[in-house]
Amino acid sequence: MKYLSLITWVTQLGFSILFPTCFFLMLAYWLQNRFGLGPWVMVVLGIIGLLTSFSTTKSCVRSMLKAAGEITEDKSEPPVAFNNHH
């Protein structure tokens, strides 16, 4: 069941990569049509979208690696002779 949760991270990763760029490009297109702005708005918001995609992808990969580490981590019990002195 824990591995199924890792599969959902793949969907999240795809969403993190595509959504910000598409959103900012659609916003730029709307701004061009609505207010008659030049092509510069498409370039500026395209760059912002790519930077946002990079940032969200980076944080998603970190979370994915942390979740994968928790699943594969060896959680064996300490030896019987182990004594925790404070």
Checking if the pLDDT of 71 tops 60, the result is yes
Checking if the pLDDT of 72 tops 80, the result is no
39 φ, ψ (degrees, to nearest 5): -70, -10
The predicted model scores a pTM of: 0.73
pLDDT of 73 = 62
pLDDT of 80 = 64
Is the separation of the CB atoms in 21 and 49 below 8 Å?
yes
Q: Is the dihedral of CA 37, 43, 44, 46 positive or negative?
A: positive
